[in-house]
Structure 1
Amino acid sequence: MAHRLSHRLPPRRSALRLLAGIGAVTLGAPACGPDKVAEGAAAAAPGPRMGAEWERHARTFMAWPALRSVWGADLRSVCEDIARVARAVAEYEPVVMLARPGQVAAARKACGRGVEVVPLAVDDLWARDTVPVFVEDDGKVTGVDLNFNGWGDKQEHSNDARVGRALLSQYGIPRRKAPLVAEGGSLETDGEGTLLVTESSVVNDNRNPGKSRDRVEAELKRTLGIEKVVWLAGVRGQDITDAHVDSLVRFTAPGVVLLDEAHPGTPADVWSRAADQAKAVLSEARDARGRPFEVIGLPQPDPARITGEGDDFVSTYINFYVANGAVFMPRFGDRGADSRARSILREHFPGRDVVPVRIDTIAAGGGGIHCSTHDQPGRPAD
């Protein structure tokens, strides 16, 4: 798996080496309502349903990086990256960029006329984690506020903690407060009742103190309409997210997943061992419909060939984003690996354009395209 410790302090996935004396790193024990329901999902029991990302989107939400105290001299270049992603996605579906009132003009200038910029107080660009997840319940879309707390109180995000309530109110979307703390990047679903989660990012006292895995699972099922949770160990304490699933394994269809795969010759570390553990779990697991998982590796680029800087550059292709008619993947500069990843994504998302986007500063700060986007299910307005 990609290195997840940013060499910059304190971007989102800041190095936690400062906490090294607190406890050893462990891998743990194995232990959006769309306009058209995915095939096989229509027969699901009444109640909420969290849709798959490949279902129709009404819009994509993003957030404008606000703080020089986080990004330092890289603030300008990370804004350029975010604007580049927004413009690319806006070719396929509506994009709403959330920006602090004093930064609206700069965001509009950078993003262009194809992106709607909405004044709303934000702290940073990680919309996947700060914007609520969406479910469909009785034909209506509801936003589930996951009570964002700065990835377990590792960073102060007072504005981002309020994004859920403010955004849903602004768009007139009903809000449901989740009975647990999590982030959108920690949840991966096939839209047919199966959820993939890393235990390290949710069953963790920095989010849900005192809650057992069984209790967290029950709350996820009840809140999101999930029937089967497949638990992956993840990695604790080595990145600010505690190893979100969206940089480890992703669905491309019910029963089919892409798994992050280290570049050949890369020394084994906690991330590659987490990927190995996930592969072992998935090889034995069944989804909510009783299907076995087909697991396909999505190899990382050669660290010597990427254009981004930093010893801990996040170079996984797994953090792709599926939009209406397109899939957006990072372009890292290793032409062979970039091309191979694009071919794999084309094979698994036929009929969609696969669009590479350069995101070197976002990746150096510890994230990717999926981390910076958040889909709202539904049909785009005419």
Structure 2
Amino acid sequence: MDTPATSRRSLLRYGAAALPVLALGTAALSTPAHAAPAPTAFRMPAEHDRHLRTFMAWPALASVWENRLTAVRTAVANVAYELSRYEPVVVLARPGQAADARYYCGSGGYYGIEVLEIPNDDLWIRDFGPTFVVAPGGAVAGVDTNFNGWGKSGTSYQQPFRNDAAAAATLLTEYGVQRIEASFVGEGGSLETDGQGTLLATVSSLVNSNRNPGMSQGQVEQALKASLGIEKVIWVPGLAGQDITDCHIDCLARFTTPGQVILDRPGPGTDPKWVAVYREAKQVLESATDAAGRRLRITELPAPDRRLIRGRGKEFLSSYTNYYTANGAVLVPQFGDSRADAVAAAILQAQYPDRTVVQLDIDAIAAGGGGIHCATQSQPAA
């Protein structure tokens, strides 16, 4: 049976030297969270834009994964291998665990896999790693979103995060990429953009006293716009307090292209509270317009039948929407509900006709409440 420590959710880019930060001075980098930060010339790109590499992280702690640590490491290595067929992959690992990570990951894949010795705690690099932004002149920077363990210190969901909290800054230094300290606290999984100025986010994961105490929704929105180069935020309610992330957007709704959104539709056997989250999100998205004034086109991505995947724990993340878009490929889970797996693959292939849909068994990762998107972070090509 999953414990809070081992279960994360129940719903559920440049190289050696970036150019100087544009239109962002030292004062903006140190602006207190409650103040209105200065805007930046950088913007957050879409995940479907071309990548220079993908970052992943090696799960470090037996205290978190208990007897599933070997299985989850094997699953992480398998995802890294499949990704390395399409783009370079860098896996962060504690220095004392780097040899094991290299052994598991091997040297397979066309582009290969590099293991980089940076201390970490867990595999969820989407949340604790840098969120990359780009500037019109080609500069790339990394936004450090001040990871605080999903704000769960002192709760039953608490797990070690000190190394994860420092990893973004260390990684950016390693690659000579400019670091921008965000004027809000959040995680990469709470941020979904079309690359053209529109951001999807849940109120529950960002306008929350466990991340941004004393900040109103309007203040958080201004911080997001300034730090990420966003013009418009489309807020969906989400649900606080029912999982460690407080309902991240990347398990719920994703942009496939500007103006086109994939919406996770809960499968049979889903807890009613998450069905309500889906319905609220659908209502918001159906009436929303993006930064360019376009109405959103919504494609629903049905989740598998929860009754067919019994025995995997109530925290098991059975969301196909937590897929990852790589160069030339879309990596998506398969859960063993053969009909739902096939439908998900067909829908995503139609959405990404120029990419290969690769379905992977990630049960060990999903049992911890996350997915392929949670376990990856892209560095954009300039």
**For this structure pair, what is the TM-score category when the shorter chain's length is used for normalisation?**
0.7 to 0.9
Gaps in structure 1 of 5+ consecutive residues? 1-5, 16-31, 35-44
Cα distance between partner residues in 2 of 1:311 and 1:156: 22
Does 2:94 correspond to 1:96? no
Shift of 1:267: 5.6
**Mapped contact 1:308–1:364 kept (Cα < 8 A):** no
Cα distance between partner residues in 1 of 2:368 and 2:271: 22
Cα distance between partner residues in 2 of 1:329 and 1:124: 21
**Mapped contact 1:252–1:349 kept (Cα < 8 A):** yes
Length-normalised TM-score, structure 1: 0.88
Q: 1:371 aligns with which of 370, 374, 380?
A: 374
Does 2:4 correspond to 1:9? yes
Cα distance, 1:193–1:183 mapped onto 2, change above 3 Å: same
Length-normalised TM-score, structure 2: 0.88
Q: 2:159 aligns with which of 148, 155, 164?
A: 155
Alignment of 1:168-317 (within 5 A): 168-264=172-268, 266=269, 269-306=272-309, 309-317=312-320
Cα distance between partner residues in 2 of 1:7 and 1:94: 33
**Mapped contact 1:8–1:365 kept (Cα < 8 A):** no
**Corresponding position of 2:74:** 80
Shift of 1:307: 7.8
Cα distance between partner residues in 2 of 1:144 and 1:68: 30
Does 2:65 correspond to 1:71? yes
Cα distance between partner residues in 2 of 1:178 and 1:66: 26
Q: After superposition, give the CA deviation of every residue in 1:341-362 in whole Å (9 maximum; x if it has no partner).
A: 0000000001100000110011
Shift of 1:331: 1.1
**Corresponding position of 2:123:** 125
**Corresponding position of 1:361:** 364
Q: After superposition, give the CA deviation of every residue in 1:248-275 in whole Å (9 maximum; x if it has no partner).
A: 00111111111111124x3661211111
Cα distance between partner residues in 2 of 1:312 and 1:71: 14
**Mapped contact 2:172–2:178 kept (Cα < 8 A):** yes
Cα distance, 1:308–1:323 mapped onto 2, change above 3 Å: farther
**Mapped contact 1:143–1:175 kept (Cα < 8 A):** yes
Shift of 1:181: 0.3
Shift of 1:310: 1.4
Cα distance between partner residues in 1 of 2:270 and 2:332: 25
Whichever residue aligns with residue 140 of structure 2, its letter is V
Shift of 1:125: 0.2
Cα distance between partner residues in 2 of 1:262 and 1:98: 33
Cα distance between partner residues in 2 of 1:46 and 1:315: 37
**Mapped contact 1:49–1:193 kept (Cα < 8 A):** yes
**Mapped contact 2:146–2:182 kept (Cα < 8 A):** yes
Shift of 1:14: 6.6
Cα distance between partner residues in 2 of 1:127 and 1:311: 23
**Corresponding position of 2:336:** 333
**Mapped contact 2:40–2:227 kept (Cα < 8 A):** no
* 3-state SS, counterpart of residue 304 of structure 1: helix
**Mapped contact 1:307–1:333 kept (Cα < 8 A):** no
Cα distance, 1:289–1:8 mapped onto 2, change above 3 Å: same
Shift of 1:299: 0.5
Shift of 1:33: 8.3
**Corresponding position of 1:29:** none
Cα distance between partner residues in 2 of 1:191 and 1:164: 21
4+ residue runs over 2 A deviation: 6-9, 153-156, 304-308
Shift of 1:156: 2.7
Shift of 1:305: 2.6
Cα distance between partner residues in 1 of 2:270 and 2:44: 37
**Mapped contact 2:287–2:295 kept (Cα < 8 A):** yes
Cα distance between partner residues in 1 of 2:328 and 2:179: 28
* 3-state SS, counterpart of residue 71 of structure 2: helix
Alignment of 1:340-359 (within 5 A): 340-359=343-362
Cα distance, 1:362–1:267 mapped onto 2, change above 3 Å: closer
Q: After superposition, give the CA deviation of every residue in 1:20-77 in whole Å (9 maximum; x if it has no partner).
A: xxxxxxxxxxxx689xxxxxxxxxx981111000000000000000000000000000
Whichever residue aligns with residue 114 of structure 2, its letter is E
**Mapped contact 1:307–1:360 kept (Cα < 8 A):** no
**Mapped contact 1:287–1:293 kept (Cα < 8 A):** yes
* 3-state SS, counterpart of residue 305 of structure 1: helix
Identity %: 53
**Mapped contact 2:289–2:295 kept (Cα < 8 A):** yes
Shift of 1:303: 1.8
**Mapped contact 1:146–1:177 kept (Cα < 8 A):** yes
Shift of 1:308: 6.6
Gaps in structure 2 of 5+ consecutive residues? 16-38
**Mapped contact 1:308–1:361 kept (Cα < 8 A):** no
**Corresponding position of 2:139:** 140
Shift of 1:12: 5.0
**Mapped contact 2:301–2:320 kept (Cα < 8 A):** yes
**Mapped contact 2:333–2:360 kept (Cα < 8 A):** yes
Shift of 1:9: 3.4
What's the C-alpha RMSD, in Å, of the aligned pairs?
Answer: 1.8
